[in-house]
Amino acid sequence: MKIHLNSLGCRLNEAELEQWANDFTQAGDTIIAAEDEADVIVLNTCAVTQEAVRKSRQRTQKLQRANPAAKLVISGCYSSLESPTALAELGVDLVVPNTKKDHLVRLTRDAFQQPSMPESATLPAETALFTRNRHRAFIKIQDGCRYRCTFCIVTVARGDERSRTVDDIVQEVNNLHANAVKEIVLTGVHVGGYGSDLNTNLYDLVTTLLDQTHIPRIRFASVEPWDLSPEFLRLFENKRVMPHMHLPLQSGCDTVLKRMGRRCRTEDFSQLLKSLKDTIPNFNITTDLIVGFPGETDEEWRTGLNYIRNQQFGHMHIFTYSERSGTKAASLPNKITKAVQQARSQELHAMAAEQRTAALQQAVGSIVDVLWERGKACEGGFRHSGYTPNYLKAVTVSPTDLSNQILPTRLTGIENEHLIGLGL
């Protein structure tokens, strides 16, 4: 079969898409970029906000219209929360719930009466990943979350925590590295809770990966700040563990954090950031922030804004609060008007841009290793983009193709919010 894979939302969705790509190719199928040429279209959906729900529904309709003859398979949080009747009306042929995502390829092939894997299926994992123009692999290490932040619908859609075994993850990383992948990102719903059901933890997993694999770069997707122990910080002493973490703050005001059901207060968050930056040179911290949470007064907003101003984030993902039926926050009083939400969002975006520029300026003049992604032919050779160890984006023009190479690079300036790299 010719399979088109499509995704919205988080890195975990992307990690699942990559795994499906590998599983489909190993079963003898072909991953293609054009949805109108596919026999089967697989969409991994999102429902973290009402806007994500709208986009998931819209993407489903678009894919169905682009190729009505193809079988349409959807999974992800939107498909888990939407009614089967509504999905059928969108032209969906098969729904794979989040609890059965690991079996999506088998369920898809069984549903459409495809034979088991032919002996001639020898396409390597590299094909599935690089044909999708990816140069880092997202590794799903667990699913589900034990916590219940009052705004989060994902914990409802994803269910209880379920971790993959260490051996399974090690094998996947070694297979990817054997097929030219140089960087992995460990991802999940509650990454810091990895191993809660297996009598292990994230620290032990990374220690094992450092010992039993030779993958040059290891990163983390979003990790809750309360999951990081002093022992965990020692992992960054190994240069293969990249000096960047995405730590969701959500609000800079403790009273708002309490209503959100968050387990970390601003004082604890500040201490963690100081420990990271004091211990690891050029450590970059990015974060998530929610604007206009129910009951957020002008005073709370100013308190939060002043706190955020003093933290120096490399990047902020800013979300306007979106009410999700089935969450505790949906029943909270004193909803914030759209106009106030938009004004606060604009103010925070301006601050985020200032901090982003400051992080880039601090990097100018340094020499770092950059993993260059697939180049595009241009005047003068090839134009590449890539990422520094602390996850700042760089661009360069080279007379030769640098695709998928980690090379020492001098950062000479800033261009369109990206660093300019010069090879040594």
CATH number of domain containing 277: 3.80.30.20
Ramachandran category for residue 331: left, alpha or beta (phi over 0 → left; psi -120 to 50 → alpha): alpha
| Residue whose pair of structure tokens reads 């965990």 in the numeric block | 232
Q: What pLDDT score was predicted for residue 9?
A: 81
Query: 315 lies in a domain?
Result: yes
Residue 121 pLDDT: 33
**Within-domain flag for 116:** no
Written as one letter, the residue type at 83 is: S
Contact 189, 164 (CB under 8 A): no
pTM of the model: 0.85
Number of domains in the chain: 3
Q: Same structural domain for residues 351 and 238?
A: yes
Domain-embedded: residue 126: no
- If asked whether residues 394 and 407 sit together in one domain, one would say yes
Same domain, 341 and 232: yes
**Are 275 and 170 in the same domain?**
yes
> 73 forms bridges with which residues in the sheet?
42, 94
Closest CA relative to residue 200, chosen from 148, 161, 243:
161
Same domain, 290 and 409: no
Using the 3D structure, point to which of 363, 398, 413 is the last residue of a domain: 363
Full 3-state SS string of the chain: CEEEEEECCCHHHHHHHHHHHHHHHHCCCEECCCHHHCCEEEEEECCCCHHHHHHHHHHHHHHHHHCCCCEEEEEEHHHHHCCHHHHHHCCCCEEECHHHHHHHHHHHHHHCCCCCCCCCCCCCHHHHHHCCCCCCEEEECEECCCCCCCCCCHHHHHCCCEECCHHHHHHHHHHHHHCCCCEEEEECCCHHHCCCCCCCCHHHHHHHHHHHCCCCEEEECCCCHHHCCHHHHHHHHCCCECCEEECCCECCCHHHHHHHCCCCCHHHHHHHHHHHHHHCCCCEEEEEEEECCCCCCHHHHHHHHHHHHCCCCCEEEEEECCCCCCCHHHHCCCCCCHHHHHHHHHHHHHHHHHHHHHHHHHHCCCEEEEEECCCEEECCEEEEEEECCCCCEEEEEECCCCCCEEEEEEEEEEECCEEEEEEC
Segments of the chain with pLDDT less than 50: 115-127, 130-132
What pLDDT, on a 0 to 100 scale, did the predictor assign at position 134? 61
* 385 & 352 share domain: no
Q: Please, how many CA atoms are within 13 Å of residue 43, restricted to the half-sphere of its CB?
A: 30
Do 93 and 151 fall into the same domain?
A: no
Are residue 59 and residue 192 in the same domain, yes or no?
A: no
Q: How far is CA 342 from CA 336, 338, 339, 346, 402, in A?
A: 10, 6, 5, 6, 42
- The domain of 181 spans 134-363
297 and 258 in one domain? yes
